[in-house]
Amino acid sequence: MRSPLSLFPLYSLLSLSGGLTPNDNSPPLKYANHIFNAIQDSMRQWGSSLHHNGVSFFLATVPAGTQLYHGTSKSSPVNGTEWLAFEPEHAMVFARPRRGPPPGAPPPGDDHDDPERPEGRHGELRRREPRGPDGRHTDAWPDNFGEDDAGYLHTYVAAEDLRLLYVDGMSAAKTSKGTLDSQDILLFNGSVGDRPDGGPAGENERARLACEMAENEWGGRIDGLLRMEAGFEIILCAFERDLTLLRITQVKPQDKDEFGPKGGHEHGGREGRKQDNDGKRRGPGGPPRGGPGRGPNSSRWMRAVTARYHGIGGNRVSLNYDHFVTAFSYDVDLFQDESGLPRLGHLSRSELEAIRRDITTLITTHDATEKSKDWQVIADMVVTRYSKDLSYFVSGKINSMEALQAEIERVMSPYIDYSDRNDVVEAQRCATQFLPPHSLDSESLAAHSVYSVAHSICSKLLEADKGTDFESAVQILRDLVDYLDWTTWKECRGCAPDELCVVPIWPMGTVQDYESPSCKNASNPYDQDGESYWGGMRH
Ligand SMILES: *[C@@H]1O[C@H](CO)[C@@H](O)[C@H](O)[C@H]1NC(C)=O
Ligand SMILES: *[C@@H]1O[C@H](CO)[C@@H](O)[C@H](O)[C@H]1NC(C)=O
Ligand SMILES: *[C@@H]1O[C@H](CO)[C@@H](O)[C@H](O)[C@H]1NC(C)=O
Ligand SMILES: *[C@@H]1O[C@H](CO)[C@@H](O)[C@H](O)[C@H]1NC(C)=O
């Protein structure tokens, strides 16, 4: 186990202008492609939805003055820990009356995380009261009685720069596909227990643990967690400390237009909808329906959220890309199942603890606001330059070696000195094109990952160019495309104004949406047949 900082001690000082390669003794960066993609996908709904198992942790800041939203059944400001959305439409999903239990019903908390219930999806949009006199958390269930039969949208403004830990991927998605590994297994050390009834572990628990870590292990240097589901959200530990209330407005009562047809007969209601005979959740990839707790009509929500496919926008979040922690930089095998997505459950306790320690060190020694290079824009330069060419080269539209060589030479020509051909030098010039000077002198994981990926592209192009056999030349490029696994290649082209490009975003979407996202009716983006991508819920 090595810490990220120990990975590059051997690099000699490099002169980029001299076109030298990194020292051959430098340790290989095993998952450079995944680190590159984590940087490229960060704070983007699109890439983070496809690469939904994040194993990276970034320091993030949200500047003072940023508007943030909270949806609830309550018309009074939040005091304590709660969830905040970046898009009001996301918060509005939770702006609805809480359905109080009949007298004698099970205690509150039962529906937490039930994706069938919007308030459960976030768990507990109830206010978390500070500890009561007996030292226990006094979840304010009784307060909910007597509330208006209405929902409220709270608009807050960050009173100061918020200091957050960004857990990447779709880390707010309550699934069993690995989206929670980085929190439940790594950050929280397996202490988010499954509920006794077999339901998913509670979001309340994650919020409580995160805020305890913020206070105790992280020296009060973190105000909350930044995560993504259908929209980016913050678990903010102290609303009253960090936010100023701008307004609280009552939302339109949610009727059947917002929540789908009433009655639930089409799926047999709350019980019948859950499972088919074989226990597998089937049917529309749309939000689950049926019963009073049916999922919301996703149209308004998804139109807003998909507007952020390519970035949260407005500099509402800045990440520190010079210093971050990712499981991809450790000497561990993260790909042990067939999904092609990283998991953490098989890591040993000492491996997990080493990463957790590095997260604590990151937080206690760095800030999101310190001067750092924006490696995402540099990664973007690589992707936008090569994405289209590479997909063309493997598209089957090129059908001779001569034609392929001409295309590759077009791409590589800026790096070739025709009076002095030299593969090594040409690959190096090409690979360092977008790198700031001297960036490889440092131990920056981002710098070395971007360099490594760019170098793979450039050297594979040269290798394919030198081949004599057309099929094997194309195969080299196909392998490169597989290795890169850029989400740009799954983007829809030319959706109409009343359509959205649909990819699975928990709990919605089908296997088909994951394999080949396509333009769908924006009024009804997920109302379709097909096997649910997310399968059964986590338990
Ligand atoms: C929040 O709750 C605590 C404990 O109940 C109380 O002392 C404090 O005054 C409250 N703050 C606000 C802003 O209501
Ligand atoms: C993690 O949990 C295990 C028990 O499952 C415990 O022995 C260990 O001390 C915990 N580590 C930390 C850092 O809390
Ligand atoms: C969802 O709501 C939109 C309006 O926001 C409406 O046009 C659409 O028909 C609704 N879809 C369903 C399935 O109810
Ligand atoms: C899109 O869906 C809405 C609501 O279900 C429907 O009224 C409309 O006709 C659909 N549009 C197209 C082009 O299919």
How many angstroms separate the alpha carbon of residue 298 from the centre of ligand 4? 14
Query: For ligand 1, is residue 79 a contact (CB within 6 Å)?
Result: yes
Contact 243, 236 (CB under 8 A): yes
Buried b (16+ CB within 10 A) or exposed e, 232-267: bbbbbbbbeebbebeebeebeebeeebbbeeebeeb
Contact 98, 151 (CB under 8 A): no
Rounded Cα distance, 226 and 43, in Å: 10
Query: For ligand 4, is residue 524 a contact (CB within 6 Å)?
Result: yes
Ligand 1 atom closest to Cα of residue 79: 1
Residue nearest to atom 9 of ligand 1 (CA): 79
Q: Identify the segments of the chain with pLDDT beneath 70.
A: 1-28, 99-148, 194-201, 254-296, 528, 536-539
Ligand nearest to the CA of 522: 4
pLDDT digits (tens, 9 = 90+) for 320-340: 999 999 999 999 999 998 888
- Enumerate the domain spans of the chain: 26-99+149-253+292-372, 375-486
Contact 522, 302 (CB under 8 A): yes
Query: For ligand 4, is residue 521 a contact (CB within 6 Å)?
Result: yes
Query: For ligand 2, is residue 189 a contact (CB within 6 Å)?
Result: yes
Query: For ligand 4, is residue 75 a contact (CB within 6 Å)?
Result: no
- Mutational pocket test of ligand 4: of 289, 523, 527, 528, the residue with most ligand atoms within 8 Å of the beta carbon: 523
pLDDT digits (tens, 9 = 90+) for 198-248: 444 589 999 999 999 999 999 999 999 999 999 999 999 999 999 999 999
Rounded Cα distance, 478 and 472, in Å: 10
